[in-house]
Every structure is written in C-alpha cells, then in structure tokens.
Amino acid sequence: MDRNLYGSLLAALLGLSSLGTLGFIFGANSTTPPLDKPTGDWRLLDSITYENLTIFPVVSSSDRDTAAFLTLDKGLASGEVVVREQGSEGMARRRDGRDGIIRPSYSTGASVNQLVLINRGKRPLLLLAGELVSGGKQDRIIGKDRLVPVGAEPLPLDVFCVEHGRWSAGAAFTDAKTIVHPSVREQAAVESDQSKVWSAVRGGTTTHAEVSITNAAGPPPAPAQFAAARIERAIREDAPTESYQKIYESGVVSNSADSYIEEIQRRFDRATSGLKGERVVGVIVAYGREVAWSDIFASGDLFHQYWIKLLRSYVVEALARPGYREVASRDDASQFLRNPNGRIQEETEPGVYRWRQINQGRLSLIELDALDPKVLTLHRLLIHRSS
C-alpha cells in the first residue's frame, strides 16, 4: 500500500478514535436506555445566594402532567396511606439478584429497617428517599425513591431509623412534613448504611472542611452555625431519644433556620416571578463554591409540593457546614444538568416503576421512572457525595 495513503487512513482512524473517546467523556452514557424525559430543555436561572448557600432554580418549558401521583404527605394526612410496624401479617419483598425485579416473600416481627405501607388511595404513591414518618417504635426515613401502585398488597418498605434512643410503642405513624438534610439523605439513598445515618444525624454534616487556595490566602471560613456541640445540647435538652425531628426542629436550630428560610424564599420568589412559557421544576444547590446537590422533578406542580421541606433541608445543611466566603459558578452548576457515565444499577417493578443509579467518581445520579401509562422520569437526584 502507498505510504501516503496508509498514513492518511491511519490519521483518519485515529481521529475517529479521538472523537469516540470525547463522546464517551462528554456525551450521554451509551448504555443508558432511551427515556421519555425532558432532557435538553432545562435552563438555569440566575443564582440566589444567602450566607453560604447558593440555589440555582431550574426551569423547563416541558411541564409534564403529574396529577396522577399521590405524595406521602397528602396520603398520610388524608388517610389514603397507612404506615405501621412490620408484624406477623406483614409481607416482605425480595429482590432477584439476576434481573433486579422485586418479588414478594414473607417475614414476621418488627424490624428497625422495615415498615409496612398500604396505599388505599386511587393514585400511585410517590416516595422520596429521606422523607420522614414519625411514630411507631422509632421515627424512620424512606430508604429509596419508589412508587407504590394502587391496590398493592401491604408493602414492606425499606427504611432507616432516625431516632436512635427509642424502641417502644408510640403513636400511629404520621407525616412529619420533613425531608432530612442532604448529609443524612445521602447516607440512606446512596450508602444505605444505618450506622452512617445515625452518625450524620448526630454530626449535622458529613462534609469535612477543606481549605482552598483562596481561603488559605484570605480570611478563614466562618465556623458552622450549628456545630456538633450545639447538636449535643439539642439532644440533651429537647431530644433525649435522638429523634431527628426533635433535634432539628428544636429552638437551637429553628431560631437560626426560620429567618434563613424566609430570606431564601423571598429571593427565590423574586427570581422566579414573571416566567413565560416555563415552570420551575427543580434546583441545584451549592455550599460555598461546592455544587453539591440537585432535585429536579417532572413538573412544576410536583416540585412545588416538595419545595418547602426541601428548602428547609438545604438550610439545615448550610447551618451545619462551614460558611465559606466563596460562591459557586454558573458553569459548575450547569454540569449538574448532565448525566455521569458509569455502571448502571437498576431495580424494576414491572409496569410500575424503574429505579436507576449511576456512579462516576464522587457523583451519584438517581432517577425514578414511572412506567405506566408511559415512561416518565418523576424525580432526578444528582449528588456530589461527601464520602
């Protein structure tokens, strides 16, 4: 073969190889199945910054109809949803290791990490990891995003305890209108580790202070406003059973959190008013300059049903973290609208929902799809893990 021709062909092949490599790094994961979701039409609004917390509202022109889904708060308040301790009549579901499909099996006796849930309503029930139910033998949080179909048998629900010092009969489970803050939620949703959940409840945050070049040269970060010593005080004075709800709704936190929330909400309302043809469907959250978290939903209505308790959770995290005098960039936040590349873990209940997790480095993406009547991504969570 002519050497010039051979060199040209080799250069062309190397060029194609380079493009393929770039596609793997920057493009969508080629192993990710096609999904019916509003990818590509999300847009970031200008950031809202207060103290060490920055929030980027995410808007979309594709506002999906999510009225067919029931939230846990509304279901418990109306009596359409019942949660109880697992007992002799309880059933559990096992996950087949070969195909990720959830199938029923049976067990008896109360369990720290499992409750029984009944959906008596006429709509599928949406559960988000980190939502808190209070009562029973201990307060618990939901372990994973999932859907519970209408007419399902009593469902064994994977949970994590957030009340370390109690195991005794209490009032019936009620909605706490609370979702735990990101450090605790991460340990449940990604790490799935009960001891780490307890540790995050007591410690306030799982993020360790890191001194950046900017901070090293300039003034040090402000100390955490809700440090471990104050959590100990809250436990001693208001929450002897180490109940998450009592700790983080005690005066030690509320006195700081309430005014913080009001100011963020005021700025958020101002920043998102006057939208034309778009709805706010989620947020990307940063602490100091670190973009750490995002919650994005299929519709503006679904986002607003969760917004207030999500906002409180972000603020509690901000109070527990050092107050870095830096602000996250819009470019860094926009990266949270992209999917990481990595091995996909999936769990499926045929005809009901599909749960998916992708990890790449310290990024973890979790998505929940409704499968009926068509595939719809109800919730997208992207985390820059602290551990």
Say if residue 45's pLDDT is above 60: yes
Cα(302)–Cα(368) distance, integer angstroms: 13
**Residue span of the structural domain in which 73 resides:** 42-384
Say if residue 294's pLDDT is above 80: yes
CB 271 within 8 A of CB 43: no
With respect to residue 61, please indicate whether it lies within any of the assigned structural domains.
Answer: yes
Say if residue 359's pLDDT is above 80: yes
Say if residue 101's pLDDT is above 70: no
With respect to residue 3, please indicate whether it lies within any of the assigned structural domains.
Answer: no
Residue 75 parent element (H or E)? helix 72-78
With respect to residue 299, please indicate whether it lies within any of the assigned structural domains.
Answer: yes
With respect to residue 173, please indicate whether it lies within any of the assigned structural domains.
Answer: yes
With respect to residue 11, please indicate whether it lies within any of the assigned structural domains.
Answer: no
Give the pLDDT mean for 18-23.
Answer: 33
Q: What is the pLDDT of residue 212?
A: 43
Cα(163)–Cα(307) distance, integer angstroms: 24
Q: What is the pLDDT of residue 308?
A: 96
CB atoms within 10 A of CB 313: 24
The candidate with the shortest Cα–Cα distance to 385, out of 285, 290, 284, 292, is 292
Least confident of 2-6, 163-167, 285-289, 315-319: 2-6
The tally of domains found in the chain comes to 1
Least confident of 122-126, 138-142, 150-154, 249-253: 249-253
Say if residue 144's pLDDT is above 90: yes
3-state percent breakdown (helix, strand, coil) of the chain, nearest 5: 30, 30, 40
With respect to residue 8, please indicate whether it lies within any of the assigned structural domains.
Answer: no
Strands 174-179 and 125-127: unpaired
